Amino acid sequence: MPSINLCFQGYINGVEVTKATNADGESVDVSEMSEGELCRKLNAGELFVSLGDLLYEGDDEEIELHDFAPGI
């Protein structure tokens, strides 16, 4: 199976986040959290979200993949 490296950039708008992961790797229900509180916790590194999950839940996403190279 080929292994490649790639670079990506983009944005995802309107994602409804219902779960996140805390620093201990545990799933956290954030569905009742305000947008401001969730963003503060994400920016502080207290919570993390999965880019892969958000790509499937996003509305108006625009992701650009570029700079492909063989993996090591």
Per-residue pLDDT tens over the stretch 9-54? 777 777 888 999 999 999 999 999 999 999 999 999 999 988 777 7
Q: 48, 20 in Cβ contact below 8 A?
A: yes
Q: 20, 47 in Cβ contact below 8 A?
A: yes
DSSP 17-57: --EEEETTS-EEE-TTS-HHHHHHHHHTTSEE--HHHHHHH
- Cα maximum dimension of the chain: 43
Question: pLDDT at position 12, please?
Answer: 73
